Structure 1
């Protein structure tokens, strides 16, 4: 009787899952809209959990090292984050204003150089001018297209402005809710953790519940080490750029260094964004200095990739470099910059769990492939025997 009841429950569960999948496929548009609506409702709380996790790393360090109370360490952490933002604004905003001033004065000269180069190029290549003169242009059609675009564009611009204002207000509201939710999580994290344990152990078997919290502990440690290591590495890289650019007397040293520190939080590709922006800004002033900046960037990237990153971040995520690049590309395509930051430790957790499962299965099967791959032996140096100074048959003079 119990066997029949269990079989019926399994069949009913499978039928329910199949029916839900069929409804989701049949009414895909409505289902997608419902999922989007639910995600927009829970997004402030997801954002709040992410903020709580980021703030928890320095807050826990303050609690552990200085034996502070929870509320004191939380306030100090928030003051630290606010101070970093204010300091970055104080340092960068005046520099940004001077940069725009310089660009405003240098841009006309840059355009004049381009015009002069274009005139010289076309004067030395008359065939290109002949080819361009043969192209027929319908100016009436272009004029009608431009006027039509502006007629439609004014209405679209007003709609876009209203939508942008509504979206900005909604984003600010979501951020405030997320911040308040994050504060509640950080203040009552032990109580929430105890409630989560009760909930998991109530609905799962002890073995599965233990496995769940083991994975959660692994994910928490991996994300924390990755976040702290990446922040420290970004600060070191920005300081290196600031010192090097001041020694070489390159312009925009402070602004580019701060930009490098911010973009270096994105693994692999982040610093190249700062290189492109910084190179373009310096190019407006001096092409030679722009070339020096690019060379400096390549040198510091090699130092950072081969010396700083392995020692500061090191094996904190335990993910081979090829999978780090895959994680950054996939995460950036799915979720943008946030995906680049999240997918590296996430893939590290998946990689660690998969490695554990593979090794345990191979060990149970008695395979010699279980365990870590053997380290590559360094090439052995052949001993070079120096020829003896003594000649055959000649006695040693010291004897």
Structure 2
């Protein structure tokens, strides 16, 4: 009789799952719209939770060194707020310093490009007319004498000058977007501060909910999975930040030594983009090549050689020692995580893909090892009973 009851429950369970699947498939558009609406509403909270997680790493560091031996109520009450304030100051200072290095140089590069455009036009005109001497058959397809390079250059300059007026003209239409962005960031910061100030209380409440609504085995499994994800993200963030700082410093110092222009800006840009695994260093290298080649094409080519050498040193000597096996993900899976994450969610996907894949990889690896151990133990017990018989 009990077997029939178990069969009825199993059939009912699968029927319920099938009915839910049919409902989801038939209403997937409405469900996607609902999920999109939920994401829009919850976006500041999700961003706030991410900010809190990153700030928590710095906050824990400062809390360990802020009057650790003090036992007064004032010290205990102010340790957490002071640590949060110091963490915010550090992050704002780093962002401000990077922008201070990058923005003025970008403006000067744009001005330099506008200045050299007429010379580039003259060079193109000279090359075209020289090519006419070498390949007379071009004249059958292109009327080179009617080619007015000065007019083309003037149009390009007018287009670049018009960009400024277009930006000014569209400022009014973008005010609402900027205001919405500022409000979302403000709400995210407030939510992050609430999480950090009461993280122990929130953690305890979450554990109580898990213990109340999940069986013991399910609760332990959930805590184990969350611990693995926390370790993966913590190792990835700390390792990538240290590695990015080292790479940016190497690029800046090397460019100063070899007298490349824009050394400070490209070094800072390399440090920022190096936070994106694999792809980041190549992005900064491409930007640096364009900036340098505008002034000196030969020096731009030498910069490519320089950046490739630096990346080889960083990838083979520094990255394995700084990040090492902390991520616990083979190189081929890092590339796959960056590719898939970038394709799905852009730059945030590139950043999140590696630690997420690392956590999943660790969970699967540990589960496989546990199953192999159980199977090996069962085989040993079976062999032991066989020999006893």
Q: Same fold (TM over 0.5)?
A: yes
1:76-116: CA deviation from partner (whole Å, max 9, x where unpaired)? 10111111122223333333332223222223323322332
Corresponding residue of 1:176: 186
Deviations 1:288-312 (A, max 9, x none): 1101100100100001001110111
Question: Which whole-Å CA distance do the structure 1 matches of 2:357 and 2:25 have between them?
Answer: 29
CA deviation vs aligned residue, 1:330-373 (integer Å, no higher than 9, x gap): 11111111111111111111111111111222222239xxxxxx
Residue 163 of structure 1: how far off its partner (Å)? 6.9
Q: As a proportion of its length, which structure holds more helix?
A: 2
Aligned to 2:343, which of 320, 329, 333?
Answer: 333
Q: CA deviation at 1:314?
A: 1.0
**Is it true that 1:94 corresponds to 2:104 in the alignment?**
yes
Structure 2: any 5+ residue segments left out of the alignment? Answer: 69-78, 144-166, 378-389
Deviation string 1:157-202 (CA, Å, 9 cap, x unpaired) is: 9xx9887544333322222111111110011000000000001111
Equivalent in the alignment of 2:30: 30
- Please state whether the residue corresponding to 1:284 is helix, strand or coil: helix
In the aligned structure 2, how far is the partner of 1:196 from the partner of 1:321?
35
Please name the residue that 2:91 is paired with.
81
Cα distance in 2 between the residues matched to 1:118 and 1:189: 68
Hey, what does 1:376 align to over in structure 2? none
Q: Does 1:186 align with 2:196?
A: yes
* 1:39 matched to 2:49: no
Normalising by structure 2, we get a TM-score of 0.82
Separation of aligned partners in 2, 1:43 and 1:239: 35
Which of 353, 361, 364 matches 1:354? 364
Q: Could you tell me how far 1:4 is from its partner in structure 2?
A: 6.7
1:303 matched residue in structure 2: 313
TM-score, normalised relative to structure 1: 0.80
1:10 positional shift: 5.1
Alignment correspondent of 1:71 = 81
Contact 2:48/2:188 (<8 A) preserved: yes
| Unaligned ranges ≥5, structure 1 | 134-156, 368-399
Deviation per CA, 1:140-167: give whole Å up to 9, x if none.
Answer: xxxxxxxxxxxxxxxxx9xx98875443
How much has 1:324 moved relative to structure 2?
0.6
Q: Which is worse superposed, 170-179 or 207-216? A: 170-179
Q: Is the aligned partner of 1:19 residue 2:19?
A: yes
1:146 matched residue in structure 2 = none
CA distance in 1, matches of 2:178, 2:9: 49
Q: Contact conserved, 1:110 with 1:284, CA < 8 A, in 2?
A: no
Q: Distance in 2 between matches of 1:70 and 1:328?
A: 35
CA-based RMSD: 2.5
What residue in structure 2 maps to residue 209 of structure 1?
Answer: 219
CA contact (8 A) 1:107 1:284 kept: no
Matched, 1:263 2:263: no
Larger of the two Rg values belongs to structure = 1
What residue number does 2:51 align with? 51
Give the corresponding residue for 2:75.
none
Instruction: Give the distance between the partners of 2:365 and 2:184, measured in 1 at CA.
Output: 39
Which is worse superposed, 69-78 or 114-123? 114-123
CA distance in 1, matches of 2:82, 2:39: 34
Count of equivalent residues:
344
Q: Closer, same or farther in 2 for the Cα pair 1:4/1:165, shift >3 Å?
A: farther
Q: Which stretch of structure 1 is more off in the superposition, 99-108 or 299-308?
A: 99-108
Q: 2-side partners of 1:14 and 1:162: how far apart?
A: 56
| Of 262, 280, 283, the match for 1:273 | 283
Runs of 4+ in structure 1 deviating by more than 6 angstroms, as ranges, are 1-6, 160-163
Q: Secondary structure at the match of 2:324?
A: coil
